[in-house]
Structure 1
Amino acid sequence: MKIKRNGRIGALIKILCDHPNKIFTLSYFTNKFNAAKSSVSEDIVVAKKLMEDLKLGKIETISGAAGGVKYIPLTSEAENKEILEDVCKKLSKTNRIIPGAYLYMADVIYDPRVVRKLGEIFATQFVGQKVDYVVTVETKGIPIALMTANALNVPLIILRRDSKVTEGSTVSINYLSGSNGKIQTMSISKRAIQSGANVIIIDDFMKAGGTAKGMIDMMNEFEAKVAGIGVVIATKEPENKVVKDYVPLLILDKVDEINGTVHIYPNDALL
């Protein structure tokens, strides 16, 4: 079936956006669209310009025998502002305050539309870096970490609180949680990650940074390099956390149970 140019461009963009950071060869599209290489090359040029003009990400061409074309999901500062301010608005509602000055946020971090965009924001911060895995600890950070891994086109590694017999031999470490000051345990299968890999750590919340430090220590067991750390929400205090280089999307200043107010705002560096 012969497909007209508008149809080819629409299908090309759909395929690339459904598989971010995956390289498709030119031959893949010529065979799929039953079109000449010259025609598909022109389609890619049009699609590339369209995506850049509308700030919908970037279509990149890779030369060479192993080359092709791929889509890189990039979020603009204006898009970050819109998304993060919307999340702040949702989390600032009085009825979200839980006894103990905690925030109920499960419905937000488990919303596929929200976490997909948050994952793309994280992926944008680490674009250009060599990443082999995205790492998180169960359980609340899993959806955001999964969407970040999807945007970067790399596997997700989940550090578990308890080892499972189905994972075979595991490595376990103890760490001090900065949120409650308790000693906790995390474990990972020895088969889960290759020695010397480059990883990105993603988590949902950071207070003092104890859990993130624990994940860094775990990666050291595999001689893995931590290329970056991203957290959805970081508390404003304590200012000096046990990890220094991290990217928070939102800053939680204060939860006032008495007056029923929540002060949370986007990270200015992303806007």
Structure 2
Amino acid sequence: MNKYKRYERLAAIVKIFNDNPNTLINLEYFMNLFGIAKSTASEDIDILKDVIEKFNFGKLITVPGAGGGIKYLSISNIDSYRSFVKEMCEKLKDASRIIPGGFLYTADLIYSPSVVSKIGEILSYPFQEKNIDAVVTVETKGIPIAMMCARALNVPLVIIRKDSRVTEGSFVSINYVSGSQRHIRSMSLSRRSLKKGSKVLLIDDFMKAGGTIRGMMELMEEFDAEVVGAGVMISTQKPEEKLVNNYISIFVLKNMDEEKNIIDIEISDWIMGE
């Protein structure tokens, strides 16, 4: 078996952890991969742990016991994302983003890989150690955000459809009331998409009154799924009373005046530590 130098092992271990976030990897895996003793493997992990945490690249968690191992979490704290969030907030304040009808244009940000990956990581942060089984979203602009969130948690992405698809087999469908326009809408999910009893995180791009998130919660009840929480990129300040309580957002849209070309948007308190 080839003998690897420490810098080679460390580079390889970083790649393995980065490709498998939030996944428990037994120390024996590295011992067998590199042909090294347990003490050497432990030393490698300790070195990486210090470096990763020093530069805020995430953190390594050691789980003791026979079934234990090491797990890499992509975010050690939210502080390192504040400069990014502030930059994003300034971009969202650009009055040219106002679309006639009182809508906010965000597609350029949501469909930018470098941006949406960070948005997904931020929304995954409070749930990194909640043993999430799946990230659930609806087929809207929230899909890229939900995908990056699922990537950070290393769990499957489940997409709720606005109508059923023959190619997905039998499905569960419900009607729900949209929170803002009070329209009756429907959403469907294939029975094969989600195992009963799963712990799920709901993700969307925008929330006003919370009708869509509420509908997702009601659909999850049909699968006996436990909704651990919900996250959105932007929530509106009004109406103050939402149809859901257990949610987080990165930004809060306080006001948008189409006539005066003003967008009043702020960063959520939980990110700024307030």
How far residue 17 of structure 1 moved from its aligned partner, in angstroms, is 1.7
Measured in 2, the distance between the counterparts of 1:75 and 1:108 equals: 24
Match of residue 74 from structure 2 = 73
Q: Does 1:115 align with 2:116?
A: yes
Measured in 2, the distance between the counterparts of 1:214 and 1:257 equals: 30
Could you tell me which amino acid in structure 2 is paired with residue 197 of structure 1? S
Measured in 2, the distance between the counterparts of 1:138 and 1:72 equals: 27
SS at 2:233 equivalent: strand
SS at 1:240 equivalent: coil
TM-score with structure 1 setting the length: 0.95
SS at 1:178 equivalent: coil
Which segment drifts farther, 251-260 or 26-35? 26-35
Match of residue 249 from structure 2 = 248
TM-score with structure 2 setting the length: 0.94
Instruction: Percent identity, please.
Output: 49
How far residue 136 of structure 1 moved from its aligned partner, in angstroms, is 0.6
How far residue 75 of structure 1 moved from its aligned partner, in angstroms, is 4.9
Measured in 2, the distance between the counterparts of 1:99 and 1:124 equals: 34
SS at 1:149 equivalent: helix
Could you tell me which amino acid in structure 2 is paired with residue 24 of structure 1? I
Q: Deviations over 1:89-123 (max 9, x none)?
A: 22211221100111111110111111111111122
Structure 1, unmatched stretches of 5+, are none
Measured in 2, the distance between the counterparts of 1:48 and 1:75 equals: 11
Match of residue 127 from structure 1 = 128
SS at 2:162 equivalent: coil
Number of positions where the alignment pairs a residue of Structure 1 with one of Structure 2: 271
SS at 1:134 equivalent: strand
SS at 2:65 equivalent: coil
| Equivalent runs, 1:42-191 vs 2, <5 Å | 42-191=43-192
Q: Deviations over 1:182-227 (max 9, x none)?
A: 2111000112112222111111110000000000000111111111
How far residue 69 of structure 1 moved from its aligned partner, in angstroms, is 1.5
SS at 1:117 equivalent: helix
SS at 2:217 equivalent: helix
Measured in 2, the distance between the counterparts of 1:263 and 1:253 equals: 5
Q: Does 1:14 align with 2:12?
A: no
Q: Kindly report structure 1 stretches of 4+ aligned residues shifted beyond 4 Å.
A: none
Measured in 2, the distance between the counterparts of 1:195 and 1:14 equals: 33
How far residue 126 of structure 1 moved from its aligned partner, in angstroms, is 1.3
Measured in 2, the distance between the counterparts of 1:30 and 1:13 equals: 15
| 8 Å CA contact retained: 2:86, 2:267 | yes
Measured in 1, the distance between the counterparts of 2:39 and 2:80 equals: 34
Q: Does 1:201 align with 2:220?
A: no
User: What's the RMSD between the two structures over aligned residues?
Assistant: 1.5
Which segment drifts farther, 62-71 or 106-115? 62-71
Measured in 2, the distance between the counterparts of 1:154 and 1:170 equals: 21
Measured in 2, the distance between the counterparts of 1:236 and 1:10 equals: 45
Could you tell me which amino acid in structure 2 is paired with residue 169 of structure 1? S
| 8 Å CA contact retained: 1:75, 1:121 | no
| 8 Å CA contact retained: 1:81, 1:266 | no
| 8 Å CA contact retained: 1:88, 1:264 | yes
Measured in 2, the distance between the counterparts of 1:168 and 1:234 equals: 34
Measured in 2, the distance between the counterparts of 1:85 and 1:107 equals: 17
| 8 Å CA contact retained: 2:22, 2:128 | no
SS at 1:201 equivalent: strand
Match of residue 233 from structure 1 = 234
Structure 2, unmatched stretches of 5+, are none
Measured in 1, the distance between the counterparts of 2:131 and 2:76 equals: 19
Could you tell me which amino acid in structure 1 is paired with residue 64 of structure 2? S
Measured in 2, the distance between the counterparts of 1:226 and 1:27 equals: 34
Measured in 1, the distance between the counterparts of 2:65 and 2:76 equals: 28
Q: Deviations over 1:149-184 (max 9, x none)?
A: 111121111100111001111111111112433211
SS at 1:172 equivalent: strand
Measured in 2, the distance between the counterparts of 1:240 and 1:76 equals: 30
